[in-house]
Amino acid sequence: MQKFHYLNQENLGLLPADVITPTFNRDNITTSIVHIGVSNFHRAHQAYYTNELMDKYGITDCGICGVDLLDSDRKIYSILKDQDGLYTLITKYPNGQNKIKVICSIVEYFFAPENPMAVIEKMAHPDIQVISLTIAEDGYHLNEITGKFDMDHPVVAEDIKNPLSPNTVFGYLTQALKLRQQRKIGGCTIISCDNIPANGDTMKGSLFHYIERAEPELLHWVKNNVTFPNTMVDRITPVTRTEDIENLKTGYLTEDQWPVVCEPFAQWIIEDHFAAQRPPWEKVGVQFTRNIEPYENMKLRLLNAGHSILGILGTLIGYKTVYEAACDEELMLLLEDFMNEEVAPTLDQAKKTDFTNYKQNVITRFQNPHIKDSLTRICKESSAKVPLFILPTIKDQLKNKRNITRGAFIIAAWCKYNDGVDENGISYEISDALSDILIRTAALSHQSPIRFLEIKPVFKELINEDIFVDAYLKAIEALRRKPVKACLMDLNSMT
């Protein structure tokens, strides 16, 4: 039997030649970035770009200190601790080739619940120039109805009471910034890397709100010393499967307890206003811009919306992965018509970003057979995603009195999706913070379809838009009567 190697610093030199290991000496790396939320996505994206800087340009002062805040992160924390912060990134190409690379940019790691003060001190360290975040939509604690920071959320209220053992990112950042002010260390840049529109502005708004209540004297300093560039982040990163771990072991003699799988494509665009120094990420393909909005709209409304559409409709038909759904001709026709006729008119054409190329690239990415991105991942937390990925298109189209037929159909399909059973009679779980209300209103909608649109945190005032409501009612009526594929054919035959 061949001998395999546990992934850790000591064994790096023992890994087979087809596993790419660093060209740099990790001992020379110093930390200037704290990243909160060491998700698969962070590991395939920001940590990957930073690793490239070290690897290709020998830059040594941009090491990452990973921080996890949630109890549910204990597993990844203990694995990465065990592996000295190392993990393998498995890039899967459409032709079946894999690139296996050990990523070494996470050089320190803290699990906040174990030692909150250590995290606060780390963020306040003079070497730290950037604090980046992937905390998902719910990490921002936005009120479901108003969309503003939810000061009354129990964990937020708890942080105000116990400032030195916080739970939220806001509690941590406030205490760290307070130390930076007291110690005259200077500010830093906070970079949100989540898929929410104007992610930096959103973070800024929420943090200012929090500080105003928790440490009002600090606010002025923060306003003058901390910046929050908006960003657009992109790389499809599916959930790691057992077979990926096994393949690494048998095919590459490398035992990594939690590798990350990703597609070859990656994009990161950042507004270039940094409070302090920043890593020269432009050397490794990161784009800097003055205004993120056109890029962000393009990504959220085409790629993320595309995912949700394949996720919702694909699940109803009985598909399990994005790839399977993306091979369905009728489904893809709907997606393309939606993109061409309902999304394209809402995008900023002045930017001259090539819509056709971008759209085609998104479709090609969905059709990578090796990614096996599960529709379960895509459909998770749809009540947070639909309002960010799909409803803005519908609202813009309505404002301009343009077509919303397909958008309304997708919303009707989402209502049906919340019945929790596909067209073959197989049940699936609705994994969503609003699952109770989604399931209840979907059930009520069998008698009274409008009930679904009454979910205020999702649809807000959209229920008052008659044109949209009519189109939705027609679509749900058809979807309850006929199979999804038959409805798609009807829709696709419309001119």
- Residues lying near ligand CS2 in the complex (CB under 6 A) are found at 195, 234-236, 304, 307-308, 378, 385
Shortest distance, CB of residue 382 to ligand CS2, whole angstroms? 8
Give whichever of 230 and 304 is closer to ligand CS2, judged by the CB atom. Answer: 304
Shortest distance, CB of residue 270 to ligand CS2, whole angstroms? 15
How far apart are alpha carbons 23 and 484 in whole angstroms?
A: 52
Give whichever of 32 and 195 is closer to ligand CS2, judged by the CB atom. Answer: 195
Shortest distance, CB of residue 308 to ligand CS2, whole angstroms? 6
Give whichever of 370 and 474 is closer to ligand CS2, judged by the CB atom. Answer: 370
Q: Where are the alpha helices (DSSP H) in 63-153?
A: 74-82, 116-123
Give whichever of 146 and 431 is closer to ligand CS2, judged by the CB atom. Answer: 431
Beta bridge partners of 421: 427
CB 234 within 8 A of CB 268: yes
Shortest distance, CB of residue 238 to ligand CS2, whole angstroms? 8
Shortest distance, CB of residue 298 to ligand CS2, whole angstroms? 12
CB 33 within 8 A of CB 65: yes
How far apart are alpha carbons 263 and 63 in whole angstroms?
A: 24
Give whichever of 256 and 263 is closer to ligand CS2, judged by the CB atom. Answer: 263
When CB distances to ligand CS2 are compared, the closest residue is: 307
Give whichever of 141 and 385 is closer to ligand CS2, judged by the CB atom. Answer: 385
**In terms of C-beta distances under 8 Å and separation of at least 24 residues, what long-range contacts does 471-476 make, across chains too?**
471/404, 471/405, 471/407, 471/408, 471/409, 472/408, 472/411, 472/412, 473/449, 474/408, 475/408, 475/409, 475/411, 475/412, 475/413, 476/412, 476/415, 476/416, 476/445, 476/449, 476/452
Give whichever of 276 and 388 is closer to ligand CS2, judged by the CB atom. Answer: 388
Shortest distance, CB of residue 235 to ligand CS2, whole angstroms? 5
How far apart are alpha carbons 365 and 110 in whole angstroms?
A: 34
Shortest distance, CB of residue 236 to ligand CS2, whole angstroms? 4
Give whichever of 60 and 376 is closer to ligand CS2, judged by the CB atom. Answer: 376
Cβ-proximal residues to 323 (8 Å cutoff; 6+ apart), any chain: 366, 367, 368, 369, 371, 372, 373
Shortest distance, CB of residue 54 to ligand CS2, whole angstroms? 23
How far apart are alpha carbons 38 and 65 in whole angstroms?
A: 10
The DSSP call for residue 240 is: P
